[in-house]
Structure 1
Amino acid sequence: MSLRTTATRLGILGAGGALAVLTVAGPAVALDDANNPPPVYKGRVTAKTGLLLRDAPTRGSQVVRSEPYGKVVTIFCKTTGDHIGHNNLWYLLTDGTWAWGAAHYIANIGQAPRWC
């Protein structure tokens, strides 16, 4: 069976007969190439009573889990959200589940994370 016949049966040919590209939604992880994965960012929790991690970068969003004081966490990226202690940056953490933590309570280890 030809590629065109297969594409027609799957319904992915456009009006002009061009093959449409299908994508899957999810976190955007761009690789420069197979040998250069995106950088890994780390931080240490500085909240004395532990850091509450949330499902959105806001104070009122649902708490997903918490991390204890001193824990080293993996940061995927940063964005802006609610102000916490004059800081409106939030970090998306990838340890276990994807959850947001206020950057005010996370000290960067190495360079600051990229923007989401």
Structure 2
Amino acid sequence: MSLRSTLIRLATATAACALVSSVAVSPALADDEWGDGGGDHGSGQEDEHHNDRLARGVVTAETLLLRSAPNRGSQVIRVAHRGERVSIFCKTPGQSVDGDNLWYLLPDGTWAWGAARFIEVTGREPRWC
């Protein structure tokens, strides 16, 4: 392997690592911007379902594709099933699904977007992103 191809591979790997690192910390940085919502800090509980800053909901579709962006054309991150309880970080307008253009950002281990049309909010309304 030539020195030039080695340098190109090294530069590509460095750029990829920087991109992955920035994406990995973005949700944590965004979470800090909301301030202290009165959650149970200091109890050692890290479960996002117990965080008072998050709204909560239940999936109403038989299967709900959770995506990388608030539209039907984005990558599927995971699938949620009817009755699954989810935490909702925030809501934003996106592609309309059956006349409803709201999407919820779900931090349940994936930080994926779910169409609000298929998630019933079970408490307070989610904040805007």
Q: Name the TM-score, length of structure 1 as normaliser.
A: 0.71
1:91 aligned onto 2:104:
yes
* Alpha-carbon distance in 2 for matches of 1:80, 1:93: 14
User: What corresponds to 1:40 in structure 2?
Assistant: 54
- Cα RMSD (Å) of the superposition? 1.9
Structure 2 gaps, min length 5: 1-21, 40-51
User: What corresponds to 1:73 in structure 2?
Assistant: 86
User: What corresponds to 2:115 in structure 1?
Assistant: 102
> For the structure 1 residues 60 and 41, does the alpha-carbon distance in structure 2 shift closer, same or farther, using more than 3 Å as the test?
same
* Alpha-carbon distance in 1 for matches of 2:53, 2:89: 9
Shift of 1:82: 0.2
Which entry has the higher C-alpha Rg, 1 or 2? Answer: 1
Give SS of 1:26's match.
helix
* Alpha-carbon distance in 2 for matches of 1:31, 1:55: 22
Shift of 1:31: 4.8
* Alpha-carbon distance in 2 for matches of 1:44, 1:111: 13
Letter in 1 for 2:69: A
User: What corresponds to 2:17 in structure 1?
Assistant: none
Shift of 1:32: 3.6
1:55 aligned onto 2:55:
no
Letter in 1 for 2:104: Y
* Alpha-carbon distance in 1 for matches of 2:100, 2:82: 19
Q: Name the TM-score, length of structure 2 as normaliser.
A: 0.64
Q: For structure 1, which segment, 38-47 or 82-91, has the greater mean C-alpha deviation from structure 2 after superposition? A: 38-47
Structure 1 gaps, min length 5: 1-23
The total of aligned residue pairs comes to 91
Q: Which runs of 4+ in 1 moved over 6 A?
A: none
* Alpha-carbon distance in 2 for matches of 1:74, 1:84: 20
* Alpha-carbon distance in 2 for matches of 1:61, 1:108: 23
